[in-house]
Structure 1
């Protein structure tokens, strides 16, 4: 899968993306609300190989996509099917240095359009740590609506956290 936008190329990861991806995940602020800790030199290859292996979206596998601006990977999009028919969940991480430039919105909206139009999904959802304000705003910018807020329902990194579920249908995409 390759998606072209005005400023970006969205494609499966390639082996030479490793340093750019390390720059995304070797950051405590980026990983603060993710399920994993920041990447280190010691676990870099193992973690990056997971991204390389996730090169196709099937009912059994996750799709990991590089968001490329020029020649540099600035973001990571992930998609996987849930247990509900024709429903996928998305996840996203971007370099802190590109914050505020609209790249995350452009990439995530294009991914959503592709999922509805090419994969014929019925619903897209995102499950977030409720403290992750930037991700909440991104979901809202692409037309997702907040559907649930669960109180201390998720144990992560040694603490109970609230989680929020955002969702959208094709009809929500261009609102």
Structure 2
């Protein structure tokens, strides 16, 4: 899957993206609400290789897409099928430098429209760390609805955290 928005190119990762992606994930603030710790020089090749491999969405394999502005990767979009029929979950990570410019809204909104149109999914959901207010606002901006708030249901990085689930159907798009 490769497509353009008004300002962005969204495409599978390639070998030349390693340094930009390392810059993204070698950051405590960015990784605070992610399931993994920040990347290190020791594990960056192995972690990046997973993103290179995840270049087609199937029932068995997730998809990772680079969000490119100019010549720089500023974000990472992820999509994977859940156990429920025709349901996918999305995740996204953007550089701090990209924050506040509308890039995340543009990229994620375009992604969900393509998932409904090209993959005929029934439902798209996002599961968030409840402390991640920026991610909650993004979900709401693209038309997702807050469906659940679970209290201290997830053990993450040495502490119990709350989770929030957002969801949308095709009918939720304007």
TM-score bracket for this pair, using the shorter chain length: over 0.9
- Alignment-derived partner of residue 113 in structure 2: 113
- What CA RMSD, in Å, does the superposition of the two structures yield over aligned residues? 0.5
TM-score by length of 2: 0.99
1: CA distance, partners of 2:70 / 2:123: 31
TM-score by length of 1: 0.98
2: CA distance, partners of 1:42 / 1:137: 34
**Residue 141 (structure 1) aligned with residue 141 (structure 2):** yes
- Alignment-derived partner of residue 28 in structure 1: 28
Once the two structures are superposed, residues 110-149 of structure 1 have per-residue CA deviations (whole angstroms, 9 ceiling, x without a partner) of 0000000000000000000000001000000000000000
1: CA distance, partners of 2:62 / 2:165: 19
2: CA distance, partners of 1:36 / 1:95: 16
Count of aligned residue pairs for this structure pair: 174
Where do residues 47-58 of structure 1 align in structure 2 (5 Å cutoff)? 47-58=47-58
Cα drift, residue 70 of structure 1: 1.0
- Alignment-derived partner of residue 126 in structure 2: 126
1: CA distance, partners of 2:146 / 2:59: 25
- Alignment-derived partner of residue 59 in structure 2: 59
- Alignment-derived partner of residue 8 in structure 1: 8
Stretches of structure 2 lacking an aligned partner (at least 5 in a row): none
- Alignment-derived partner of residue 38 in structure 1: 38
2: CA distance, partners of 1:111 / 1:145: 17
Stretches of structure 1 lacking an aligned partner (at least 5 in a row): none
